[in-house]
Amino acid sequence: MVLARSNNKALVLTGLLIGLIFAELDETVVSTAMPTIIRDLHGLSLYGWVTGVYMLAMTMFMPILGKLADLFGRKRVYLACIALFIGGSIVGGLAVSMPMLLVGRGIQGIGAGGLMPLAMVILGDTYPLEQRAKIQAMIGPVMFLPQLLGPTVGGYIVDHINWHWVFLINIPVGLLAAAIIGVGMREKLGDEKRSIDWAGAFTMMLGLLSLLLAPVLVDNRGLAWSSPWIIGLLALSALMFASLVLIERKAKEPLIPLHLFRNRTVVVLSLFVFVLMLGLMGGISSFPFFAQTVMGLSPTGSGYLNLAFMAGAIPISILIGFLITRVPYRTLFIVSFILPIIGMYLLTQIGVGTTVLYIIVTFVILGVGMGALFGGDNLIVQESVAKEHSGIALSTVQLFQSIGMTIGMSVFGSLLAKNIRTGVMDLSDQLPEGAAESIAKGDIPQGLSADTIGKVHEAFSDAFQNIFAIGLGFAVAAFVIVWFLKKEVLSKKEEEPTGEARVAGEVSA
């Protein structure tokens, strides 16, 4: 598969950005509208599955769509992903029951599984290395824009139209993105017949489903990690992944080429993003609960604390884009990822008297550290493998990132709930009858004395300090992993003779 040189770069970039932003915006808008949706569809018992089904579908199909793009063309598969996202939006927008809504979210998740990784691959095929480094450096922080706009857009649609348009609004936006990509992107495909590794795809999907369903059930159904159901799912997952290795060794067109795991850069970055997302995102994902319950901020106010994170991430991400073709990327990552350690340590010190200014400073530090990841990881992966494997390589690394985030949010959420319950139950003799159970679920009753509320807040603070201490451990582990990256400058590889002109300034690994 070769991209024609006649691509309209401006149109391709515009179409990709619209597609990415509308997919990310949908997530925050839906989250804002969920209380209204749940009330209308009488689906409180399935509340957690709205996000769970989406994440499961996205994670399972991410590597499959990446491989299909390598086999049959980026443009064709990317447009199919937009079509799936639009189709899921139609089903969700027309939903008259929670099962119908979950079906729509699942279809949306499949489409979303290809939008981000394939957008990065298409940029890699369209722009030379120097330009791509700067563009990709800005895309990561741009994805935080939906976090800023989501609550406002979702609130307006629910208040002034109705919640169905939270989904239906995706139709014109998705069609616009598809039209721009269709006009601006040119792709010439080879004539050779390509086979699909269906056995590998089925085995991998079953393995991922078993792995990711376990934390979803723990989070949404209250099962313990020692439950026979959870142990059985994890055992089935291990069996499926072992079978996948055997299948991929014999496959003509393996879904995930095993030689990728002999690539040091792919292995190190996969492990790095898995550990970082598991600990960092797992730890801070529940912070809005602390901000609202202990600090007394409004839901909107706690959500907008993310602006501090963006303020740190955006300029550093852009800077990394300029430096990554001039400075060894291992050096950039080593320097940058000292900061998440500092940020997580500061979060271990939060308490009842924590101020908004303290949190803003902490989030800025975290954002500055994470800016290197937004500005460099996708580019490094693309430049470490042959172009024909760039789609599946990028999807594989993002798969590990998504798995880490999904498991981390669930495990840390369960651990937080357990710690809060333990702390509150220690105060049960000082609380009115039934109040301890209510507080353990996050609902502090009215009428408690100031002294009692203070003790409850201290129990909450202790629980958060514990999970941030664990997150700090993961941040340190991620920092250690960074040292195993190659000490090389991407642009130096590009200057080596390759024997042929490369359309997108490919660097061979």
479 confidence band (pLDDT: 50, 70, 90): very high
pLDDT at 362: 93
Is it the case that residue 502 has pLDDT exceeding 50? no
456 confidence band (pLDDT: 50, 70, 90): confident
- In order of 222, 349, 352, 354, the CA distances from 341 in angstroms are 31, 13, 22, 19
255 confidence band (pLDDT: 50, 70, 90): confident
Residue with the two structure tokens 């976090």: 147
Is it the case that residue 385 has pLDDT exceeding 60? yes
Measured distance between the N- and C-terminal CA atoms of the chain, rounded to whole angstroms: 19
Please give the single-letter amino acid code of residue 125.
D
pLDDT per residue as tens digits for the range 37-53 = 877 887 666 666 777 78
CATH number of the 257-413+472-486 domain: 1.20.1250.20
Say whether 257-413+472-486 and 1-189 share the same fold: yes
Strand partners, 3: 187
Is it the case that residue 300 has pLDDT exceeding 70? no
Is it the case that residue 5 has pLDDT exceeding 70? no
pLDDT at 189: 60
pLDDT at 128: 75
Q: What is the mean pLDDT of residues 457-462?
A: 86
Q: What is the mean pLDDT of residues 177-204?
A: 77
Determine the topology of domain 1-189 in CATH: Growth Hormone; Chain: A; (1.20.1250)
pLDDT at 68: 82
31 vs 348 pLDDT, higher one:
348
Q: What is the mean pLDDT of residues 242-263?
A: 83
Percent of the chain with pLDDT over 70: 84
- Taking all residues of the chain, what is their mean pLDDT, rounded to a whole number? 79
476 vs 409 pLDDT, higher one:
476
DSSP notation for 138-160: HHHHHTTHHHHHHHHHHHHHHHH
Non-local CB neighbours of 366 within 8 Å, separated by 6+ positions: 280, 284, 309, 312, 339, 340, 343, 344
pLDDT per residue as tens digits for the range 205-238 = 888 888 877 877 776 666 777 888 889 989 998 9
Is it the case that residue 15 has pLDDT exceeding 60? yes
Strand partners, 2: 188
Question: Whole-angstrom Cα distance, residue 136 to residue 126?
Answer: 12
pLDDT at 474: 93
Is it the case that residue 347 has pLDDT exceeding 90? yes
Q: What is the pTM of this model?
A: 0.75
Is it the case that residue 495 has pLDDT exceeding 60? no
503 confidence band (pLDDT: 50, 70, 90): very low
Output the six-digit token pair for 301: 């106010």
Which sequence spans correspond to the domains of the chain?
Answer: 1-189, 197-252, 257-413+472-486
293 confidence band (pLDDT: 50, 70, 90): confident
Q: DSSP code of 2? A: E
- In order of 168, 175, 215, 389, the CA distances from 157 in angstroms are 11, 20, 32, 42
| H-state helical runs in 354-389 | 356-382
pLDDT at 90: 94
C-beta of residue 218 within 8 angstroms of C-beta of residue 52: no
C-beta of residue 63 within 8 angstroms of C-beta of residue 77: no
pLDDT per residue as tens digits for the range 117-143 = 788 778 777 777 777 767 766 666 566
341 confidence band (pLDDT: 50, 70, 90): very high
Is it the case that residue 345 has pLDDT exceeding 90? yes
pLDDT at 493: 44
State CA 277 to chain mean position distance: 8
